Structure 1
Amino acid sequence: MIHKTDSSLLNWIYKYVVDFTLENDKSGLTWESTNKEALSFMSRIPKKEKVQKYGVYAAKSYLFSVIEFDDLKEGLENGLISEKTCKMIYTWNSEVGRENWDMDDVMHALYPAFGRHISRNFFYAAIKELVDLGVIECVNPKEVHGRMYIITEKGERVLGLR
């Protein structure tokens, strides 16, 4: 993982994205290029192509090698990329036959206390049970993804917060 403002960005792009010594290189980058020129080049490449062709994903401030799960894991743990983004990258990787990590790896990085092979249904069932008990409530129940929950007065009493 590399921050887009790092001075080594250009070398990182040369390592993972483009080899400007090739005859058919159309990147326009050279060893004298600036970070700004390198970022401009990267921004012109569609996300899916970056992942599938170059093995790179660009988040807001960082670039990740999607071939190496450790980079993705660091992004997940620091909240720089989401589970949804990982699913998208995983799908794109699978389409080109690049699968050296799977969603179990992602779930383990997000929820290490629950072990390696955790089912998301476990969380949904637990949340539903807490809602049914009146301990928490959903503030946006019509949303399919990204539902948010808050603790109720009953939940505060149960947890001794009141």
Structure 2
Amino acid sequence: MNAITDLTVTGADGAPVSLEQWHGQVLLIVNTASKCGFTPQYEGLEALQRRFADRGFAVLGFPCNQFGAQEPGDAAEIASFCSLTYDVTFPMFAKIDVNGAQAAPLFERLKADAPGVLGTKAIKWNFTKFLVDREGRVVRRYAPTTKPEDITADIEALL
């Protein structure tokens, strides 16, 4: 099967973005929301980005409004919130669906490669995380309740 980095996504500005630019890096791909109980995880995600970026690691954030309408803003509002509130420097992309008929191809692939508990494919809530190795293979899926700092050892093992 092709690497995750063979896919194209939509940037926050609406332009297509090839994930190929991150090929060879370890990635943590996350569906995010600005008004969620897990929103403070932005701080931990940014800490991972800053700690490991120079070793070939990146967090990629994909805003999603499918869970409790907790990401109601447009791209500019989301970017402003992330920057001003959590000093986010990792890439944030266009708002997407992660479940249902309009689910983004990236998340369809992530869910297929790393099913949830008992093989479930659906994403349960905001801040579900997927760890991808340098070859673009999905290594592991983490629940929204998994704190970013609890993924540190898994990231280090891939770096």
TM-score bracket relative to the smaller structure: under 0.3
Please say which structure displays the higher CA radius of gyration. Answer: 1
Could you state the TM-score of these two structures normalised by the residue count of structure 2? 0.22
Could you state the TM-score of these two structures normalised by the residue count of structure 1? 0.22
Greater RCO, 1 or 2 (C-alpha within 8 Å, sep 6+): 2
More helix by share: 1
